[in-house]
Amino acid sequence: MAQQHFPDLIRPMLAVLGDLPEGPEWAFEFKWDGVRATTYVRDDRLRVLTRNDLDASRTYPELHALTELLNHRPAVLDGEIVALDPSRRPNFSRLQSRIHTRRPTDDLLRRIPVAYYIFDVLHLDGRPLLTEPYTTRRRLLDDLHLTHPSIQVPPCFTDLPGTTVQSIAATHGLEGVVAKRKTSRYDPGRRSPSWIKVPLIRTQEVVIGGWRPGEGRRSGTIGALLLGVPTSTGLHYAGKVGTGFTAPMLEDLQSRLAPLSRPTSPFTTEVPTDHARAAHWVHPTLVGEVQFRTWTPEGRLRHPSWRGLRPDKSPSDLTT
């Protein structure tokens, strides 16, 4: 096949939320609790782009090991950047201090190293692979033998039922499973039913529309965030979250929300009086993520807990 121009941008293919599919036409991977990133390696140079096209090459210097591992082979790879806890499980809360650091110090790199879990190859040796089936792309990825403390190609399962893979994920405390149709092509920027995500931990991406001041030991800082989910009719109020924060998280949120202040609520649906009391409204631009139990009949999050900001996403990316 003739070589083609090395791509400047391939937006990541996205999965739909659904039930675990069955049948031999599906392959299964673990769902990783981190930040999606596409890497572009060419002429010993590395570019790391997040889902919203932000360049994070300096934020995660560990990924520069890819240039040596690929041995001068140009490639575009898709994967997840994760921070591991002492049990070697991805932990999104640990990743927070790395997400917001443009130039991490040596101390931060030692305390919270990251790893890049690669699960797809989109362009290799001048050959575009987007129209190749998943099984072909996966075989080419495995043949690259990318093994390094900071670079891994996690397993995919083509001969196990999805329920078994899901059980393994649950046993090891992982976020869930992604089912991928073996014949599927890679559709850049599209949320495709050929990829189905089945989380074990229920999470929701939300937009911050306001905050309430804290009381007691949280006096003088944020007590709860007022959250929304974009809909076709505007920003739907989805409830408040007041747990899951660390002191550094609260300090960072306070500094980010201060310049976003506005006099009125950004929500198009009613905010309960007890939630709106003493509220500070903000322009709805910051995206975060919560873990929660279920949705209430009013469309609000039941028992949410804050997981962290998602600077790799914008409000237009959100789905429920």
pLDDT digits (tens, 9 = 90+) for 94-131: 898 898 888 999 999 999 999 999 999 999 999 999 99
Count CA atoms closer than 13 A to 220's CA, side-chain side.
Answer: 3
Last residue of a domain, one of 199, 216, 236: 199
| Confidence (pLDDT) at 102 | 87
CA-closest candidate to residue 30, choices 174, 171, 196: 174
8 in a structural domain: no
d(CA 81, CA 39): 11
Q: What is the CATH number of the domain that holds 161?
A: 3.30.470.30
CB burial readout 72-82, b (16+ within 10 A) else e: eebbbbbbbbb
Q: What is the pLDDT of residue 2?
A: 44
Residue 1 domain-assigned? Answer: no
Do 208 and 190 share a structural domain? no
Tell me what percent of the residues of the chain surpass a pLDDT of 70.
98
| Mean pLDDT computed over 288-311 | 92
pLDDT in the model for residue 320:
66
**Are 47 and 90 within one domain?**
yes
Residue 9 domain-assigned (yes or no): no
pLDDT at 1 over 50: no
Instruction: With cut-offs at 50, 70 and 90, classify the pLDDT of residue 44.
Output: confident
Residue 84 within any structural domain of the chain: yes
Q: Which domain holds residue 178?
A: 14-199
Residues 244, 113 share a domain: no
113 and 259 inside one domain: no
Task: With a cut of 80, say whether residue 165 has pLDDT above it.
Answer: yes
Tokens for 40, please give them. 């572009």
| 260/195 same-domain check | no
What proportion of the chain, given as a percentage, has pLDDT over 90?
Answer: 80
pLDDT of residue 186: 98
pLDDT score for 111: 92
179: in domain? yes
Residue 252 φ/ψ, nearest 5 degrees: -65, -45
Average pLDDT, the chain: 93
Active-site residue flag, 180: no
Where among 174, 199, 224 does a domain terminate?
199
| Half-sphere CA count of 46, side-chain side, radius 13 A | 21
Task: Say if 43 falls within a structural domain.
Answer: yes
Give the total number of structural domains in the chain: 2
Q: What does the alpha-carbon distance between residue 317 and residue 294 come to, in Å, rounded to a whole number?
A: 21
Confidence of residue 3 (pLDDT cuts 50, 70, 90): low
Q: Does 20 lie in the same domain as 165? A: yes
Query: Which among 76, 89, 78, 97 is positioned nearest to 32, based on CA atoms?
Result: 89
- Domain boundary among the residues 167, 199, 231 is at 199
242 shares a domain with 266:
yes
Q: Are residues 175 and 121 in the same domain?
A: yes
Taking the whole predicted model, whether its pTM rises above 0.85 is answered as: no
Dihedral Cα 44, 31, 123, 147, nearest 10 deg: 40
